[in-house]
Chains A and B, each alone.
Chain A
Amino acid sequence: MERQLRGFAHKYGKNVDTDVIIPGKYCNLVDPVELGKHALEGLDPEYAARMKPGDIVVADTNFGCGSSREVAPIALKGAGTAAIIAKSFARIFYRNALNIGLPIFESVEAVDGIEAGDELEVDATAGTVRNLSKGTSYKAVAFPPFMQSLIEAGGLKPYVERRLAEKKSG
């Protein structure tokens, strides 16, 4: 995962659900780049064409509610989205995003202080969001320690490999 992220903000409202992030008809696609062409199509059909790799999605509460489809964060990442900053995330999306290595940050103040088009710089390790356009800075809610350790270990896969080894040895 890149530690220093820099890109422009695309701002949306609350309850951005998985059906608009990647409509059901595309859920038989597996290639992240192909999925990425349809990222957010149900809400903002121009997103994939307009955004530049490295850009950041900023949204209100309950981002990613609805289905468990892992292709939702995969599509956003496949399009080149560098991170999601929201006031809160739906439970399954939150796990999925971390599991596939799409950085997510929770901060009410950051979302309120960012407008569409603002240039942002995010330090993924420190969880800080700097709004370069407005000269403001915000601290995201820290991950629970267990999740932080998963992220630092490189995601769920290394964790599973370690647990498998532990089980085999006994």
Chain B
Amino acid sequence: MGMTLTEKILARHAGLGRVEPGQIINARVDLVLANELSAAVSIGVMRSIAGADRVFDSEKIALVEDHFVPAKDAQSANLAKMMKDFAREQNVKHFFDVGRGGIEHVVLPEQGLIAPGEVIVGGDSHTCTFGALGAFATGMGSTDIAAAFVLGEVWLRVPPTIKIVYRGRLREMVFAKDLMLQTIGILGIDGATYCAIEFHGPTVDELSITGRITMANMAIEAGAKNGIFHADAKTIAYVRERTGREFMVERADVDAVYQRVVEIDVDGLEPQIACPHTPDNVRPVTEVTREDIPLDQVFIGSCTNGYIEDLRVVAAILAGKRIASNLRVIVNPGSQQVWMQAAEEGILTTLAAAGCAVNTPGCGACFGGHMGTLGDGERCLSTTNRNYVGRMGSPKAEVYLGSPATCAASALTGKITDPRIVSAVGA
């Protein structure tokens, strides 16, 4: 009986010939990630563990200042400082301060810190993003991360794997984001709880690395422990451009056992919208636009859709036009590197000329921290990953989730809009 991709990676990191779903293992970790919010708690926990003076390997810890940055107040600045001081004290090699990194999940792949076959744990639920490169990656709380900091290993329950096979071609103005929203709509927000999701099929083989990142990023929105793609020539080229480090590409066995297999035909798929107040409340855009849904804010960015490809799509739609007068549009390039690339390509100027506010990279708007917080009764269409009550600010606000193209099209009209209409009429 064979193993799934997740089981293969976990078995090797546990030093075992094979593992089975439900089995408790101790897995060696290749990288431990934290941001200034999760790290602050982890550092406190680590200080309270007898004998835990040093991190297990100062080259295998990544600390990224990204949640309340640039610091919104003194309390946030203190947390950022605490992590910075810790990085210095422990000689942490991969510390990214404001202006030198960006959103953790955007930064780590682009810096070559993630490779196929690796095990990564992070103090942020969207750590599952790294499964896009064929790694096992999962989010954990700060106490577990503190344990990983000092031990270089974590205890895990081996998850059963759900295999999802996508067939068909994505139509114009339909993107990886739409595919993943549809998937979460099918699975439900607890449909993959405790499970691994293994993405398969010709549709996802065709996706760029960025598209796969968008999908793996949202595996947690179905409750999954991790989401994972097989590394292919595209993945290897992407990683090789960024690191000379050795890595091992694993493959699921042909006789791997899956908890279930879900087949999704994407041929007729239209852009998808997750409506308030859960990420699985997903409807096709034509159904949503039957009602007029005016917007107060459009947000473009985050670890889900803050990549250069996303900004190119948005800039192509907004070029030479003005956003509607009833709303504001906030754009956060996902990292300093994305920001600079967008500047070089003239995208930032295009967006600013259209009336968008372009911010420095950070997570603030997505989680209701700062730099794009919603007020009572406000409605936002966002490229982010969650739309729970109060997610982006006021509990009386409403958040809809969509692709960068849908967000850009809606920015022009001031209400939720099908991006295919905008592209067809060249509005």
A62 touches B189 (CB 8 A): yes
Residue ID in chain B nearest A71 by CB atoms: B41
**Measured CA separation A48–B141 after assembly (Å):** 23
A91 touches B194 (CB 8 A): yes
Q: Could you show 11 A-B contacts with beta carbons less than 8 Å apart?
A: A19-B391, A24-B368, A24-B369, A28-B79, A67-B367, A68-B124, A70-B41, A91-B193, A96-B142, A157-B49, A164-B150
A53 at the interface (CB under 8 A from B): no
Residues of the A chain whose Cβ atoms lie less than 8 Å from the Cβ of B139: 68, 92
Residue ID in chain A nearest B41 by CB atoms: A70
Q: Which of B125, B190, B225 is A67 in contact with, Cβ under 8 Å? A: B125
A156 touches B151 (CB 8 A): no
Distance of B53 from chain A, by nearest CB (Å):
10
Distance of A141 from chain B, by nearest CB (Å):
13
Chain A interface residues toward B at CB < 8 A: 15, 17, 19-20, 23-25, 27-30, 41-43, 61-62, 65-71, 74, 88, 90-92, 95-96, 99-100, 144, 146, 156-157, 159-161, 163-165, 167-168
Residue ID in chain A nearest B67 by CB atoms: A27
Given contacts A19-B389, A70-B143, list 10 more A-B pairs with CB under 8 A.
Answer: A42-B388, A62-B189, A65-B223, A66-B388, A91-B223, A95-B140, A156-B147, A159-B147, A160-B151, A164-B51
A30 touches B144 (CB 8 A): no
B52 touches A164 (CB 8 A): yes
Residues of the A chain whose Cβ atoms lie less than 8 Å from the Cβ of B369: 24-25, 27
Residue ID in chain B nearest A89 by CB atoms: B193
**Measured CA separation A25–B390 after assembly (Å):** 10
Distance of A29 from chain B, by nearest CB (Å):
7
Contact A96:B143 (CB < 8 A) given known A20-B395, A25-B369: yes
Distance of A159 from chain B, by nearest CB (Å):
8
Contact A24:B391 (CB < 8 A) given known A66-B125, A160-B151: yes
In chain B, positions 22-65 with a C-beta closer than 8 Å to chain A are: 24, 37-38, 40-41, 44-45, 48-52
Contact A144:B189 (CB < 8 A) given known A25-B369, A69-B38: no
Distance of B81 from chain A, by nearest CB (Å):
12
B193 touches A90 (CB 8 A): yes
Contact A68:B125 (CB < 8 A) given known A28-B73, A95-B144: yes
Contact A156:B143 (CB < 8 A) given known A19-B391, A62-B193, A144-B157: yes
B379 at the interface (CB under 8 A from A): no
**Measured CA separation A62–B68 after assembly (Å):** 28
Q: Which of B51, B141, B393 is A99 in contact with, Cβ under 8 Å? A: B141
In chain B, positions 175-195 with a C-beta closer than 8 Å to chain A are: 189-190, 193-194
B67 touches A65 (CB 8 A): no
Q: Which of A15, A28, A91 is B189 in contact with, Cβ under 8 Å? A: A15
A100 touches B143 (CB 8 A): yes
**Measured CA separation A95–B138 after assembly (Å):** 13
Residues of the A chain whose Cβ atoms lie less than 8 Å from the Cβ of B37: 27-28, 69
B151 touches A167 (CB 8 A): yes
Residue ID in chain A nearest B188 by CB atoms: A62
Residue ID in chain A nearest B368 by CB atoms: A24
